[in-house]
Structure 1
């Protein structure tokens, strides 16, 4: 931490608290919905017919984030990066409270939907802030430290969160794995998320180079240049979109997969995702060393490709301990590529356009979550998880191939 600037350190503290709070309840989102009866409930939609409420509640945040894209961009440009991050934390806390306090269909739908704009606002603000808070030599380290810290702390939060429903059940004298136990966990999670805004109150965002001289005219010139050469931006969105198509089918339901196939209890789920998080965080800290030897593009292509066999093995694992070990390897390999990819994308983007481009990348990573979780819920009810593992692996293969062609073969 001593090698980072003060804004970078305060930002990392914020990320740690935010991630810890979100991960306390994160692995129980779908389990909480099932306990509230939404696993079997359906909703009739125009043109689409009856659709699973479980899938719709997983899709609502992303759809809301997409619809709020322009207002989010306006908030960041007008309010600034620090205020945007504070607002994102407050919105995320309200979203968690909706599960804890208002579990009826309409309030919980609106509340969970609010989590999408909150995540998008954080995504749009975080990468540009890290670019300002670091120099070229320390950029890979800060991006990897942020990602590794968030993943590692998420593991710790999952471990603590795995114990929360059982503790709440004993204190409130209610049944374990009940709706009340999960709602109490979400209430605690919301408090921690709101507290993550405190370090941001002391953060002063460093001005960007040439800000005083360039002003808004320079920003408009850069945006015109991006529109004149759209491939420069579009190439950054192909891999995230393909990854989104695969991940949205499977990743939100991994806790359900472990529960349904292996009968994993809450505490065991917390331990599994904690180990996955810690291993992934440690792997992401190794990413800058790999990048220094191979370069960013080759590094994220190789790690993404190696994660694909692990994903397939996860779907075939005969026992819980085997599935857990493979999940650790998959998470570490797949996610350690993310900070390198984002740092590379920011280096290829003019500074004035970075909030817009990182927002587009975040939107690409999230795009398939608008509909894929609903499709996944329908597939699970009819065919189980096997087709989902195959489809996700296929999408990941295409993403790795696209990165190789665009950034390694053609990039050279």
Structure 2
């Protein structure tokens, strides 16, 4: 496998126009003022002794986002609102189902339907992003997500909850699937790694705010009515309203519609024919570790709020604070992921951070000490999510550009199918045997996935972010 290098230096691109469209030129002889500022900031993120300065790293990301155009910023605003609503909803939905009297196995079935819906929608969404404007897809997805959240927060019949959960998964997955195609198509090459990390960081920041706000909402609504079921339901409705607001910045992204119209839209037959030209061996190598990680995560991650409620008796407010701190640790890991990749390479960085998270999962399974469990919870989250933008960027770099949408959707498809299966199994295991066995089984799956990822890609030449794409400070 060969890396596709550009002969141009990192700053050899012209910035996009005020409408946020494509860069006007990428010729090597001229150097953009914005490109030079990014290059200089990359060198300025280190202190004289080689240490990375956190403030300058964050400042570098801010400058990269500002250089990406108005539409990129609108996209991040909408992504934040969507993530805020999703975070509130995901924090409280399990607790709401428990108040309805749904068993752990039943909760697992409902959560698995959300993931199954996401899996079913993954490939169709990829084709939609090639044939329909990003604005139209994102606005529609925002409205439909809010509607399905309203249904999930109002219905009580199990059959209707399962159906609403399935539809919810289909529309919610659109937002995460939008990151890779939007960044790869609309952002100049030197800024892509920053925008990948910025998009994931925006989601994490939304999750921090959403976890804290979601934990406080039931307490605030209890001043009106102290019935736990009603306070949780009203909180879910509030999450629905916040998610609907995400459609506003998405609707204002008119520049991307114009940019999309400049390209000829491939016919359906051309897109089907492209599937026969895909390197499916490489795609399977990328998908298999993601599948195993999805299997492990689905066994326990959807139930961690119930884990803290059942084992330690935490209230919704306390769980919200804990989740907010956890999301903060994920943001830190996400921001410094590129520095790790520069020191270790993308492949070794992904493998090492995943393996380092395994002992903390074992502590979650076996320890009864609340401080130890909290520390393990935070470190596991930070390590596992440090590599998320790196794995996405690595996958986008090792496959041809025409396969980006297929790769992105295939990775999401395998993840969500695995999560759907294991969430159902995890709920049944927890109901019958508690949380220990699912946690240990998830740790084992993480180990196997990490070994396979290293075995598949350790020989990729210079398995790191190419210097032609961006200069990232040494760790």
Alpha-carbon distance in 1 for matches of 2:146, 2:152: 11
Q: Distance in 1 between matches of 2:341 and 2:261?
A: 29
Counterpart CA distance in 2 for 1:339 and 1:324 is 25
Cα displacement (A) at 1:72:
3.3
- 1:44 is matched with which residue? none
Partner residue of 1:289? Answer: 339
Counterpart position of 1:33: 97
User: By how many angstroms is 1:321 displaced?
Assistant: 2.7
Q: Which residue of 2 aligns with 1:179?
A: 229
Give secondary structure in 2 for the equivalent of 1:103.
coil
Tell me the distance in 1 between the aligned counterparts of 2:323 and 2:379: 12
Matches within 5 A, 1:2-81: 2-39=66-103, 52-69=105-122, 71-81=124-134
After alignment, is 317-326 or 71-80 more displaced? 71-80
How many residue pairs align between the two structures?
Answer: 396
For the 8 Å contact 2:131–2:266, the answer to whether it is kept is: no
What is the deviation of 1:58?
1.1
Show the counterpart of 1:256: 306
CA distance in 2, matches of 1:357, 1:156: 31
Residue 113 of structure 1 and its aligned partner are, at CA, apart by 1.6
- Cα deviations by residue, 1:176-208 (Å, 9 ceiling, x for unpaired): xx2111111100000001101111112122888
Partners of 1:101 and 1:304 lie apart in 2 by 38
Unmatched segments (≥5 aa) in structure 1? 41-51
- Counterparts of 1:192 and 1:162, CA distance in 2: 15
Given candidates 252, 256, 264, the residue that maps to 1:205 is: 256
Instruction: Report if aligned partners of 1:151, 1:278 keep a CA contact under 8 Å in 2.
Output: yes
Q: Which residue of 2 aligns with 1:318?
A: 368
How large is the RMSD of aligned CA atoms in angstroms? Answer: 2.3
Q: Does 1:128 align with 2:181?
A: yes
TM-score, structure 1 as length reference: 0.90
Distance in 1 (CA, whole Å) between partners of 2:327 and 2:217 is: 18
- 1:145 matched to 2:203: no
- Residue 340 of structure 1 pairs with residue 410 of structure 2: no
Out of 355, 369, 375, the residue aligned to residue 405 of structure 2 is 355
CA displacement 1:20-56 (0-9 Å, x = unmatched): 111112112211111011127xxxxxxxxxxx32221
Secondary structure, counterpart of 1:85 in structure 2: helix
Output the CA distance in 2 between the equivalents of 1:385 and 1:284. 28
Do the aligned residues in 2 keep the contact of 1:222 with 1:350 (CA within 8 Å)? no
Q: Is the 8 A contact 2:285 2:456 kept in 1?
A: yes
Q: Equivalents in 2 of 1:385, 1:409: separation in Å?
A: 38
Shift in alpha-carbon separation, 1:209–1:198, aligned structure 2, 3 A: closer
Unaligned runs of 5+ in 2: 1-64, 463-475
For residues 106 and 214 of structure 1, do their structure 2 counterparts lie closer, same or farther at Cα, with a shift above 3 Å needed?
Answer: closer
In structure 2, C-alpha distance between the alignment counterparts of 1:411 and 1:367, rounded to whole Å: 31
2:319 paired residue number: 269
Displacement of 1:263: 0.7
Question: Structure 1 residues 84 and 210 mapped into 2: Cα distance closer, same or farther (>3 Å)?
Answer: closer
Q: Which residue of 2 aligns with 1:391?
A: 441
Question: Per the alignment, in what secondary structure is the counterpart of residue 138 of structure 1?
Answer: helix
2:295–2:418 contact (8 Å) kept in structure 1: yes
Counterparts of 2:319 and 2:413, CA distance in 1: 29
Question: Would you say the 8 A contact 1:84–1:122 is kept in 2?
Answer: no
Alpha-carbon distance in structure 1 between the residues aligned to 2:282 and 2:354: 22
Aligned to 2:148, which of 95, 104, 107?
95
Are 1:89 and 1:193, in contact at CA under 8 Å, matched by a contact in 2? Answer: yes
More helix, by proportion: 1
